[in-house]
Chains A and B, each alone.
Chain A
Amino acid sequence: MSSQNKEENILQQDLEIRNGDSGKTDYHINFDKLINRTKSNPNLMKQMIALYLEQTPPLLQAMLQSLKEKNWPRLQSSVHKMIPSFSIMGIDPQAEEIARKIESYEKIHQNESIEELVTQLEMICTQACHELEEKITTIKSS
């Protein structure tokens, strides 16, 4: 079996385990989406994960720093930049909902604290990064 086939098998097995594990709610990534996006190509999957892991921490940092400095335009810009990758990477749709609330905070969501929304988003993204790190390690070691 070629190494690409082996990796594809591992991705498939992993997906089956996740699908059969529907009782668990502590995962923030639906790897099915990413596998689909990358046409079941493990190399492309590795590249996508690596790009996400490179891109997201500085955006989270910018988001937290902007909140601290009450720099709302920068806070909204950094959140805005995160939005498209949520659906691409298969991250919990809740992340996009929260990000959209932060993006349009002044207009409609003043009943929720912005600090709370930022904390929730940071938690989901941080957890997603851990899951992706695990995944990239699994693909690399296969």
Chain B
Amino acid sequence: MNDKKPIKLFLVDDDAVFLKSLEIEFMDRGDFIIETYATGELCAKNLVNNPDVIILDYHLDGIEKEAMNGIQTLDTIKMFNPLIPVIMLSSQDKIEVAVDCMHHKAHDYIVKSETAFLRLQKSINSIFEFKKMEKVVKWYMARA
């Protein structure tokens, strides 16, 4: 994350404690603009704010059965703009969940654990490294 422009990050989770703890960690880093949403519906409504990355909980409908779930929210984001990278979060370390997320074009799947923040940072770094590489390749291709 060497870009000078701050990264606009959407954090979407109905677990207010986890959401706040992520917000604290990212705010502490200083190079992020954070928007937090407790539901997939709110996230979808605010996509016009053009997030650079979205961190999204898989189980958004755990208690509210009528709520939009993580995968539905992911699909809505990808319909709005397929280029927005979405990192999925879940407290269950299950291969089916990971595969489901990847099928729906998530960038990554991270388990909510003590190391989740470090993994998120790494994953976000990889997004921007990849984008940087893409830019360089495009620059060379334009001159080929």
Contacts and interface: CB of A to CB of B under 8 A. Distances in A.
Interface of A: 37-39, 44, 47-48, 51-52, 54-55, 59, 62, 74, 77-78, 80-81, 83-85, 87-89, 103
Contact of B15 (A44, A48, A84, A103): A84
A37 B23 CA distance: 11
Determine the main DSSP class of B at the interface with A: loop
Contacts of B92: 80, 103
Contacts of A103: 92
Contacts of B114: 87
Contacts of B48: none
Interface residues of B, number: 17
Contacts of A59: 63
A74 B65 CA distance: 9
A62 B17 CA distance: 18
B59 A48 contact: no
Interface string B71-98: 0000000000000000000011000000
Contact of A85 (B18, B28, B59): B18
Contacts of A85: 15, 17-18
Given A44-B24, A84-B91, A51 B17 contact: yes
Nearest to A99: B91
Contacts of A77: 59, 62-63
Interface of B: 14-18, 20-21, 24, 28, 59, 62-63, 91-92, 112-114
A48 B21 contact: yes
A67 to B, nearest CB: 15
Given A84-B18, A88-B18, 7 more contacts: A44-B24, A55-B16, A59-B63, A74-B63, A78-B63, A84-B112, A89-B17
B66 to A, nearest CB: 13
Nearest to A34: B21
Nearest to A77: B62
A93 to B, nearest CB: 11
Given A55-B15, A81-B15, A88 B62 contact: no
